[in-house]
Chains A and B, each alone.
Chain A
Amino acid sequence: KAGVTQTPRYLIKTRGQQVTLSCSPISGHRSVSWYQQTPGQGLQFLFEYFSETQRNKGNFPGRFSGRQFSNSRSEMNVSTLELGDSALYLCASKVSQETQYFGPGTRLLVL
């Protein structure tokens, strides 16, 4: 079974721009979660989607948004990028409330 895939793998943007990241979960997994990972803060939860509905949300500003499509693929959008948004963005999928599996991540650099 194919794992979680994320595109693109690397991105360079400038401050003020917006970016959209994509995540395709493992087949049959309906839950997709997004995390931001930075050296200083570690892995921080952004939000989770299940059956096209946001089920939970972390403590991030409204510039961070997401959505999920009927095929369970998910996108995350960050508007008005700031230097501090430079991070590894990880997507994870799971079929139940338990074990989740991570994708390879998208490394975003904001200049």
Chain B
Amino acid sequence: QKEVEQNSGPLSVPEGAIASLNCTYSDRGSQSFFWYRQYSGKSPELIMSIYSNGDKEDGRFTAQLNKASQYVSLLIRDSQPSDSATYLCAVAPGTYKYIFGTGTRLKVLA
């Protein structure tokens, strides 16, 4: 079992729809969770961080964390073509490193 798992996609959604990206992790002791967006040929950029169970909203983005079920998700409301990218889930299991999933490729269709 991979430490951080994501569906590779592509996940295709129409413009204006809600995109839902999911991530599961194996280390129950993980405390910090992050979503990064990576455009093709570019480096990852941080979208959201979440540390407590529940939802955290920032503009069109909502991160959801459920530590009991060991999953974290990212919702993108009113998806735009400019949101088309690969979304990386990262987990910090309490040590000094991050573990990344392989990413989900999102395609927003105009």
The answer to whether B97 and A33 touch across the interface, beta carbons within 8 angstroms, is yes
B42 in the interface, Cβ–Cβ < 8 Å?
yes
Q: Which residue of chain A has the shortest Cβ distance to B42 in the bound complex?
A: A104
B62 in the interface, Cβ–Cβ < 8 Å?
no
A-side contacts of B88, CB under 8 Å: 42-43
Task: Select B44's contact among A33, A98, A102, beta carbons within 8 Å.
Answer: A102
B-side contacts of A88, CB under 8 Å: 43
Chain B contact-residue range equals 20 to 34
B15-40: which residues lie under 8 A (CB-CB) from chain A?
32, 34, 36
B-side contacts of A100, CB under 8 Å: 46, 98
Q: Per-residue 0/1 for B69-110: is the Cβ within 8 Å of any A Cβ (1 yes, 0 no)? A: 000000000000000000010001001111111110000000
A-side contacts of B43, CB under 8 Å: 88, 90, 102-105
Chain B CB within 10 A, most for which of A42, A48, A56: A42
A39-67: which residues lie under 8 A (CB-CB) from chain B?
41-45, 48, 50, 55-56, 58
The number of residue pairs between A and B whose CB atoms lie closer than 8 Å in the complex comes to 50
A-side contacts of B92, CB under 8 Å: 97-98
How distant is the Cα of A39 from the Cα of B92 in the complex, in angstroms? Answer: 22
The answer to whether B44 and A90 touch across the interface, beta carbons within 8 angstroms, is yes
How distant is the Cα of A44 from the Cα of B99 in the complex, in angstroms? Answer: 8
List 17 extra interface pairs beyond A45-B97, A104-B42, CB under 8 A.
A33-B98, A41-B102, A42-B88, A42-B101, A42-B102, A42-B103, A48-B96, A55-B96, A56-B95, A88-B43, A98-B92, A99-B34, A100-B98, A101-B46, A102-B36, A102-B44, A103-B43
